[in-house]
Structure 1
Amino acid sequence: MAAPRTTVWELDPHTKAKHDILRQYLNGWFPVLSAWNGRIIFLDGFAGPGRYESGEPGSPLIALETLLEHSYFPRMRCEFLFYFCEADEARVASLEEQIAGFKEANQPWPRNVKVQVVHSEFFETATSLIENLRSQKRQMAPTFAFVDPFGVKGIPMSLLADLLSFPRCELFVNYMVDSVNRFATAGNIDHVLDELFGTTEYKKAGSVRGQTRHQFLHDLYQRQMSEICDFPHVQSFAMINRTGHIGYYLFHGTRDPKGVELMKEAMWKVDPGGGYKFSDRLAGQEVLFTEMGVDTTPLRLALLQEFAGRRVPIACIEDFTLLHTPYKRSHLRRPVLTPLEKDGVIKVERLGRAGFPAGTWVTFP
C-alpha cells in the first residue's frame, strides 16, 4: 500500500507498456479534442519525479512531448492545461527541475500550453478543482485524467465521479487488483476499499475463490465506474506478468465511442515487452493483445451468439465489435466475416460485388 521511499526508481516493463499506451492515446486525443474545444486538460494524479533511474521520461514529460512533437500541433489553437499532482516533496522538486529543463529545450515555449505542478495529494487537488468549478458555476473543460497510484488508497469512486461528471471527460486508471484481492476480506482497510468501490459489495468476495474471485472484483469495479461515474463505455485490460498472473487492470472510461476507438488503437499498437502481455476475455476465451497472428475466434463466437437468428446491418455489427469486445473494427471484415460467408455460415446482402460496404445486411444462423 505504501509508496516507495526513493525519489526515483527503475522503470519496470509493465510501466513502460502503460506509458506507451498513454503516448499512443494522447497522440490521437489531442488533435481530436483541440479541433472542437477552446481548452482541454490533462490531469496526472500521481505524477512522480519526472524521470526514472536510467533517464526514461515519466508520464508528465510523455504528455508534454506527445503534444509539442505532434505534427498537427502548429495548427492546434486551443489552450492546453497540464496539472501534475505529486504529494512527495522530493519528487515534486525533481519533477519541477525536469519540466524546467524540458521548457528550456523547447523555447520559445508555446503560449497556449500551461503547466502547473501541484504539491498535494490527488484527492486534495481534485476536490479543490471541483469546489472552484461549483463556486463559479462552470463546467470543466474536456479532461483526460491519468490516475496511476502505487496502491488502492486516495482514489475514491465518488471523487472520480464528481471530477469527471462533465461531458468529454475521460479516465485512465490503474486498478491494483492484487492488493484489492489480498485485503478484500481481511477487514483491516475496509474504509479504503469502501471509498475505492463506492460500495461494500467487495466483501462478498469472501464467498468465492481463485479466478472467480478475481473476476468478481474486476466486474464490480467496472460496474461502479459505469454506474457511479456514468461512463457508458468502460474497457479493461489485464496486465499479465511473467508468471502468467494478472498484476493489475487498466480501466478506461469514456462517454464517446471515438474515445473507445482511440484506446483500442493504442492498446493494439503497443508491444508490452519484458514478458508482460495485455489480455481481455470474450465469449469465455482469453484475447491476447498482439498484432502478430491475432486470434479472432472469440470475436467470431461472440458475433454468432449476439446476433443469432437475426438480420442486421453492417453498422450494427461494427458498433458491437468496437463497444462490446476487445477487438478493433479492422479485425471484423476480412478476419471474421469473410470466412463466415465463405463457409456458408452467414448470408450477405451487399451493395456491390464484394466486401462489406455501408448498406450491407448480414443474416446470422
Structure 2
Amino acid sequence: MRRVDELREQTVWKSDPHTQVKHLVYRHYLQCWMGKILQTFPEATIVDAFAGPGVYTDGPPGSPIVVAKTFLEHTAYRRFNKLNLVCLEERTDRVEELRRQFAKLSPSPQLNISVQAPGVFAEQPRLSTLAHRGRAETPVLWLIDPFDLKSAPFSLIRRCLAGPRDEVLFTLFTNELHRFCQRENFDKTMTPYFGGTHWQSAVPERRGRREAFATAYQQGLKDQELFTGGFGIKVSNQSARYHLVLATHSEAGLKCWAPVTWKLDHYSGQGASAETAGALSLFDEASVVDRLDVALRAYAGTAQRWETLSSQAARLNHMDKHLRQVLDKLAAQGLAFRVDPVRARTAWPEGCTVRFYAPEDVADEAS
C-alpha cells in the first residue's frame, strides 16, 4: 500500500524515520518551553491541531502522547503549574484511538487533557477560545502538522498568533512545494498557503528551492513582526523532506529554538535526518558562524552591550557559545575589545560591553 493510501485509509499507520526526527525536535523544544513557561505563568496551553491516533502500528507514540509524556517526565515537573493539552483530529476512529492512548498514561492534576470531538482546523476560532480560556495573555503553543497544503493556509496560522504569547510550530511541506510549484493552476494553492505571492521568488531556484521556500515562508512571518526559526527534516542525507518553522512573539522563543537545532545538527543548525540527528562529525569544531561574523563586523565603530549581541545571535539561529566563538576570533584580529567590565573571570561575561573596530582601524594603528 502506498504511503498516501495508508494515511488516508487506516486508523493507525507505521512510523517513519523522519517523523521520529520531527518528534525529537518537539521533545527538545518542549523541554525548554515547559521549563520556562510552566514555572512563570499560572497555566498555559498546547494545541495539537492535527493530533492523529496517538500511536503508530510499530509502537512509537504520536505527537499528543509525546507532549503529555514530556510534561509528565520533565525534571521540573513538581514545580510546574497547569498545562492544558487540547487535541483536534478529524476522524472519529482516530479520536477514539487517541483517547485509548491517553487512558494508558498516569493521571496528573496539573495536566488537563481535552480531546475534542472530530473536527477540522478551519474551526480555529473555537480552538483559540478553548486554548486561551478567556485570557488573551495565556501562553499557547500550537503544533500544526497537517496532511496536506490546503488544510493550513497562512490566514489560519496568522490567527493562531493573535495572542501576545501565542507560538506556532508548523510543518512546512517544502518537498511538495518544490515538486509542484510550476504545475498549471498550482498557484491557487500556493498563494493562500503562503499568504501572498512572495513564494514566487523561490521558484527560479533549482538546487536550493526547498530551502528558498522555507526562507520565503519565514519572511512572511517576519513581515508580521514575528520572530522565526526553521529546521529541515531530511530523509537520509538528501534535501529536506519538509521544514519545521517556529513563529513566536518573543525572542525568548528563539533562545529555546537555537539549542534544539544545534543539538541535532552540530555543524550548521539547519537540518538533520534520522542518521545524522545528534551525531558528531568531523566539522563539529568548525560550526558555520559566517552570518554571525558578518553581523558583528557591521558594528565597527560602536560599543555594544552583551544583550544586543546575544539578541543578534538568536535572530541568526545561534547560541551564546557561538557568539563567544566569533568574539574570540574578532578579538584575535584586534576587531573586538571588551571595555566593561575591566576585570572578569571569562573573556565575554553576560552584561559586558564590547567595542568593535574595522580592519582599516587596525591597519592604521600598525602602520
Residues 1:332 and 2:323 aligned together: yes
Equivalent residues of 1:313, 1:361 under 8 A apart: yes
Residue 305 of structure 2 corresponds to which residue in structure 1?
313
Q: Tell me the TM-score normalised to structure 2 length.
A: 0.82
Equivalent residues of 2:44, 2:140 under 8 A apart: yes
Residues 1:94 and 2:97 aligned together: yes
In the TM superposition, what is the alpha-carbon distance from 1:233 to its structure 2 partner? 0.7
**Cα 1:302/1:178, change in 2 over 3 Å:** same
**Cα 1:64/1:359, change in 2 over 3 Å:** same
Letter in 1 for 2:114: Q
Q: CA RMSD in A?
A: 3.0
Letter in 2 for 1:96: R
Q: Secondary structure at the match of 2:241?
A: strand
In the TM superposition, what is the alpha-carbon distance from 1:337 to its structure 2 partner? 1.6
Counterparts of 2:151 and 2:182, CA distance in 1: 19
Residues 1:233 and 2:237 aligned together: no
Query: Structure 1, residues 116-155: CA drift from partner, whole Å, max 9, x if none?
Result: 2224344234132347799x97526210001112331211
In the TM superposition, what is the alpha-carbon distance from 1:221 to its structure 2 partner? 1.0
Equivalent residues of 1:231, 1:253 under 8 A apart: no
In the TM superposition, what is the alpha-carbon distance from 1:253 to its structure 2 partner? 0.7
Residue 166 of structure 1 corresponds to which residue in structure 2?
163
Structure 1: stretches of 5+ with no match in the other structure: 279-287
Residue 348 of structure 1 corresponds to which residue in structure 2?
338
- Of 12, 15, 18 in structure 2, the residue corresponding to residue 14 of structure 1 is 18
Q: What are the within-5 Å matches in structure 2 for residues 1-365 of structure 1? A: 3-77=7-81, 79-102=82-105, 106=106, 109-130=107-128, 139=136, 141-203=138-200, 205-206=202-203, 208-211=204-207, 213-227=209-223, 230-270=224-264, 272=272, 274-276=274-276, 292-299=284-291, 301-323=293-315, 325-333=316-324, 335-351=325-341, 352=343, 355-357=347-349, 358-365=351-358
Structure 2: stretches of 5+ with no match in the other structure: 266-271, 359-367
Counterparts of 1:162 and 1:361, CA distance in 2: 40
In the TM superposition, what is the alpha-carbon distance from 1:91 to its structure 2 partner? 2.0
**Cα 1:293/1:362, change in 2 over 3 Å:** same
Q: Secondary structure at the match of 2:64?
A: helix
More relative contact order in 1 or in 2 (CA 8 Å, sep 6+)? 1
Equivalent residues of 1:269, 1:291 under 8 A apart: no
Q: Tell me the TM-score normalised to structure 1 length.
A: 0.83
Q: Secondary structure at the match of 2:15?
A: coil
Counterparts of 1:72 and 1:337, CA distance in 2: 34
Aligned pairs, how many? 344
Letter in 2 for 1:175: L
